[in-house]
Amino acid sequence: MWFNNNGSVNNMATVKIYSTPWCTFCRMAKDFFKEHNVTYTEYDVSVDEKSRAEMLERSKQSGVPVIDIDGELVIGFDKSRVFTLLGIK
Partner 1 sequence: MIYDLIIIGTGVAGLSAGLYAGRYKMKTLLIGSPFGGETAKAGSIWNYPGARGVDGYDLMRIMEAQAKNVGVEIIEGKVTKTLAEGHCFKITVDGKEYVSKTLILTNGAERRRLGLPNETALANKGVHYCVTCDGPVYVGKVVAMVGGGDAAVKGVNLVSQYAKKVYLLVRGKELKAEPINQSEMEKLGDKVEILFETAVTEIIGTDKLEKVVLSRTHDGSNELVLDGLFVEIGVIPDREFSDSLKLGTDERGYIIVDKSMKTNVDGVFAAGDATDFFGSFKQIVTAAAMGAVAATSAYQDAKTHGELCQLHWLPAK
Binding region for partner 1 (CB under 8 A): 20-28, 45-46, 49, 52, 55-56, 60-64, 75
| Alpha helices, H only, the chain | 24-35, 49-59, 79-86
| Burial (Cβ within 10 Å: 0-12, 13-18, ≥19) of residue 27 | middle
Which lies closer to partner 1 via its Cβ, residue 5 or residue 50?
50
Q: How far is the CB of 44 from partner 1 (least distance, A)?
A: 8
Distance (Å, rounded) from C-alpha 21 to C-alpha 59?
19
Q: How far is the CB of 16 from partner 1 (least distance, A)?
A: 16
Which lies closer to partner 1 via its Cβ, residue 1 or residue 76?
76
